[in-house]
Structure 1
Amino acid sequence: MSDEPPALRLAGTIRAGRTGLTDRFATPEGLTAWVREQDLSPYLDTAAFTADEAVRVQVVELRQAVRALFARLVAPAPPSRADADALPPFDQALDLLNRAASPVLRQLRWQDEPHEQLAPTVDGTAARLTAALADAAIGFFSDPIAAQVRVCPAPRCVLYFVKRHPRQEWCSIACGNRARAARHYHQHH
């Protein structure tokens, strides 16, 4: 599992490769594999999760809303080229995210000693999954780190990333190398 925040991992399920865009959520099996790589407790036991087409559609809709919010966050810089023309309007994206999010009930349990237990307040696998992802996105967007989000400007890259160092320009070393190679090619040809 990546150390990126869940909202960035969700937005990063669309990637660009040599043959074009790839979508980890193109099939229910792809969504199932991705969810099983995540820690979404206490909402969902990800090891037992299996997506169907209806859940896949709901999660893709939520992901597009999150990507629309990332696009708004990086403005006035241009949004990711992956799907900028297919994103819902900002107000719709915000409303969808807020409708999907559900609070977690914090309870005090006392067996041998007191401890906190969290329980989701929604029922159903799809509702728990979208609530977990929406709550993670709300936490991310309301955190000061969100001000450091950028769009990777490397050729063919469509990812958002957190700029963790003042000199960081790309989401990865590979993207930096690709950008420098493209710049060198354009200068000498």
Structure 2
Amino acid sequence: MSETLTAPSVLPPAPGAEDYLALDFVNSAIALPGGQVIDALRTPGATNQWLTERGLAPADAGVQEMCTMQLRSLREHLRALFAARVAMLPASPAALSAVNDAMSRVPTAARLHWDENGPYRAVPCPTNEVLDHALATLAANTADLLAGPDAERLTACGSAPCNRYLLRHGRRHWCSTRCGDRARAARAYARRTQPKAG
């Protein structure tokens, strides 16, 4: 069942999402108790809003369903890479290929332009390149996280059914106070309902 609520109205950003846009991106679809899912990329309009709020697209970018599907696909590949990193397993070749393909869509060097004032360099981002720019930015940020020192702190939220990732601080394994409370309540309930040894 899909909820029309937005992720921020339910949970605060997971620890580390303020430092890594990729972490915020993989957490843009949140599983909640009762089978509810909140997806910030559920429609083209919602996707455009998510991208705009993060400086990846202008408000009038006109994101289409095809763009939304490409972003959702990249998100699933990134989630697969995060899961592999957390479990210390080999990465899916398809997920690695998707990230590398996204990074190669946009030139990394600013192009040389010339106008009446002379030469200057600028990175182009006309409307038809907005999606490629967003995909490349998210993929590059993922590569920075997974290949950098913070990768050791990457973990999955320890409170089922939550599917978010976070950067662990100390012993904390939950993405939010709400998830921590739910995990503690589940442990307490399990202790109360265990048969007494006699």
- Match of 1:6? 21
2:195 matches 1:183: no
The 1:178–1:161 alpha-carbon spacing in structure 2 relative to 1, beyond 3 Å, is same
SS of corresponding position for 1:48: coil
Structure 1 portions without partners, runs of 5+: 78-88, 110-115
Task: Give the C-alpha shift of residue 49 in structure 1.
Answer: 2.7
SS of corresponding position for 1:49: coil
Tell me the TM-score normalised to structure 1 length. Answer: 0.77
The 1:32–1:185 alpha-carbon spacing in structure 2 relative to 1, beyond 3 Å, is same
Report 1:163-178 matches (<5 A).
163-164=168-169, 166-178=170-182
- Match of 1:97? 99
Task: Give the C-alpha shift of residue 39 in structure 1.
Answer: 2.7
- Match of 2:154? 149
Q: Retained in 2: the 8 A contact 1:103–1:120?
A: no
Q: Retained in 1: the 8 A contact 2:159–2:174?
A: yes
Aligned positions, number: 167
Q: Retained in 2: the 8 A contact 1:104–1:118?
A: no
RMSD (Å), alpha carbons: 2.7
CA distance in 2, matches of 1:56, 1:65: 14
Q: Retained in 1: the 8 A contact 2:102–2:139?
A: yes
- Match of 1:133? 138
The 1:118–1:136 alpha-carbon spacing in structure 2 relative to 1, beyond 3 Å, is farther
- Match of 1:113? none
Task: Give the C-alpha shift of residue 103 in structure 1.
Answer: 4.1
SS of corresponding position for 2:142: helix
Alignment equivalent of 1:161, drawn from 163, 166, 177: 166
CA distance in 2, matches of 1:162, 1:99: 26
Task: Give the C-alpha shift of residue 19 in structure 1.
Answer: 3.7
- Match of 2:49? 33
**Percent of matched pairs sharing the same residue:** 30
Task: Give the C-alpha shift of residue 70 in structure 1.
Answer: 0.3
CA distance in 1, matches of 2:61, 2:92: 30
124-133 or 64-73: bigger deviation? 124-133
- Match of 1:80? none
- Superposed CA deviations along residues 52-99 of structure 1, whole A, max 9, x for unmatched, are 11101111111111111101110149xxxxxxxxxxx71001001101
The 1:28–1:180 alpha-carbon spacing in structure 2 relative to 1, beyond 3 Å, is same
Task: Give the C-alpha shift of residue 184 in structure 1.
Answer: 0.8
Tell me the TM-score normalised to structure 2 length. Answer: 0.74
Q: Which stretches of structure 1, 4 residues or longer, exceed 6 Å deviation after superposition?
A: none
128-137 or 116-125: bigger deviation? 116-125
